[in-house]
Amino acid sequence: MKRTIITVVGKDCVGIIAAVCSYLAEHNINILDINQSILQGYFHMMMIADANHADKEFSLLAQELELLGGRLGVQIKIQHEEIFDVMHRI
Amino acid sequence: MINLFEVEETNQMVEESNLDVRTITMGISLLDCCHEDVDETCRRIYDKITSKAENLVKVGHEIELDYGIPIVNKRISVTPAALIGGCCRTTDDFVKIAKTLDRAAHTVGINFLGGFSALVSKGMTRADRLLIESIPEALAQTELVCSSINVGSTRTGIDMDAVRILGEVVKKTAELTKDQDSLGCAKLVIFCNAPDDNPFMAGAFHGVTEGDCVINVGVSGPGVVKRALESVRGRDFGVLCETVKKTAFKVTRVGQLVAREASRRLDVPFGIVDLSLAPTPAIGDSVAEILEEMGLEKVGAPGTTAALAMLNDSVKKGGIMASSYVGGLSGAFIPVSEDQGMIDSVECGALTIEKLEAMTCVCSVGLDMIAIPGNVSAASISGMIADEMAIGMINQKTTAVRLIPVAGKDVGDVVEFGGLLGHAPVMKVNTFGCEDFIARGGRIPAPIHSFKN
């Protein structure tokens, strides 16, 4: 199964996780794992998700998440997991 | 499982250190486009390129989005045009071929096409000579076509007749494109030991040892190496090299992934990954800054050649395990106009052409993107080409020359090429002549392969 990594980085505020999770649920993306921390006042979150059954094209999801990030004042990226695997695992 | 810090590290490399895949280059053989009629040859060339590369740009863009990694350029290299130009009777016929290549490049939406080339390391056929003579017109009348000529190799020696003609060709190309600060010369590379599978422009061509169609990828990432070295300031050379190797490994793995995906999605075999540190004029995307991070006040200072040798070697050692097939130029590039750190060093007087020549002995490529006064003679340009070719021939490495004798400009002036080609201060060239040496003609014989001293 191809997995997807969603990262959210930015200034912490109320409702970031809720907004991102709602968006993912709306588009049939299943969250497999969440890892989150606050580093020097900045919100960092990584989600591992299954987007294989999403109701939209990957490129469209990327664009919409970027817009959602803009509204929340954070940066949201969605990427195939493989790029991290090849870089950090032999 | 991948953790938060690893994900952050990768994304920081992209966002803060300009990590990117510099180019996906599709190599296309045009050998099957040969026909006795020039117009028919051109029609076949156009059809083959536009059908093979129809989806290249689209697929490149999809991969960018899927992995969140910028792929800066999508390009094409083709069989050296001299090999398919047997039908050409005049230089105008070759210009016609160049224009066809340009039209095809525009149609598929790429930003450069390489392969208006000839391989003449031992001698020139009639077609080779016609192509070389047509270069000034061809580069002046096209926008995206790049030209390269291989004039020497370790096995054959150097064709000094070609070197002499090319000195004149470089001058004429500069003259014909003087309205654009002699930009035509930025699209012309003269090689010794040119690789068949180089994905980087302007020297890319699809060699005759290659298959029908292939995907080659060039990685980059000087900014990433610079950032990594900031964390080991003051440590010894062992630590320095290990850090470069680890970083090069990570960068190259991304290139390998992109190459594999592009190959799969385009249904074209994967060729090679070129492990190069290719700078851009952007701040923080500079090979010069890496050398300065190692402890040089400015590039060109004593120690520069040693630092570059170590960098180049460590990049290869780190990258080689990260990819199943490595090829192309693979090393650090030191183009002057495309690297802000190099430009600064020239402007403050730290870096001269002579030092750059020494640096080319230990890194990939050679005297690259160097603006020189427009009044430098053709013979002097041929002399500079011959020097660089000799370094490649004797040291069994690729060397190249991309000089821009900017029409109407002199030392102290600055030339603006724009975009990835950047800007360059005009550099001083030794004013003593070499006319009689270049006028001799003939070949420099292949060097001896023993008694290495």
For chain A, say whether B5 makes contact (Cβ under 8 Å): no
Report the alpha-carbon distance of residue B67 to residue B116 in Å, rounded.
33
What are the pLDDT digits (tens) for B208-242? 999 999 999 999 889 999 999 999 999 999 999 99
What are the pLDDT digits (tens) for B426-452? 999 999 999 999 999 999 999 998 887
Which residues does chain B have within 8 Å of residue A4's beta carbon, measured at their own beta carbons?
Answer: none
Task: Select the residue of B10, B62, B66 nearest A84 (Cβ to Cβ).
Answer: B10
pLDDT of residue B164: 97
Beta strands in A1-90, from DSSP E residues, in sequence order: 4-11, 30-39, 42-50, 74-80
End-to-end CA distance of chain B: 52
User: Between these two residues, A1 and B338, which has the higher pLDDT value?
Assistant: B338
Confidence of residue B244 (pLDDT cuts 50, 70, 90): very high
pTM for the full predicted model: 0.92
For chain A, say whether B387 makes contact (Cβ under 8 Å): no
3-state secondary structure of B140: helix
| Residue B51 counted as domain residue | yes
User: What is the domain extent for residue B370?
Assistant: 217-444
Nearest to B152 by CA among B133, B136, B166, B170: B166
| Residue B198 counted as domain residue | no
Which residues does chain B have within 8 Å of residue A89's beta carbon, measured at their own beta carbons?
Answer: 2
Question: Number of folded domains in chain A?
Answer: 1
B121 in the same domain as B45: yes
| Residue B211 counted as domain residue | no
| Residue B161 counted as domain residue | yes
For chain A, say whether B3 makes contact (Cβ under 8 Å): yes
CA–CA min distance A46, chain B (Å): 6
The label of the residue with tokens 């630590």 reads B239
Strand B21-28 relative to strand A74-80, pairing: unpaired
B182 in the same domain as B56: yes
User: What is the domain extent for residue A58?
Assistant: 4-88
Last residue of a domain, one of B175, B192, B209: B192
Burial of B211 (0-12, 13-18, 19+ CB in 10 A): exposed
B10, closest residue in chain A (CA to CA) = A84
Q: Name which of B3, B4, B321 to mutate to probe chain A: the one with the most chain A Cβ atoms within 10 A of its Cβ.
A: B4
Structural tokens at position B8: 């952050």
Number of residues written out for chain A? 90
Q: At what angle do helices A58-72 and A16-26 cross, to 10 degrees?
A: 160
Report the alpha-carbon distance of residue B222 to residue A45 in Å, rounded.
28
> What type of residue sits at position B229?
L
Question: Number of folded domains in chain B?
Answer: 2
CATH code where residue A22 lies:
3.30.70.260
Percent of chain B with pLDDT over 70: 100
Q: Do B4 and A46 touch (CB under 8 A)?
A: yes
Report the alpha-carbon distance of residue B426 to residue B409 in Å, rounded.
8
Sequence-ordered alpha helix ranges (H) in B267-405: 287-293, 304-320, 340-347, 353-359, 378-395
CA–CA min distance B281, chain A (Å): 26
B252, closest residue in chain A (CA to CA) = A87
CA distances from B230 to A14, B31, B252, B449 (A): 36, 49, 20, 41
Report the alpha-carbon distance of residue B193 to residue B390 in Å, rounded.
11
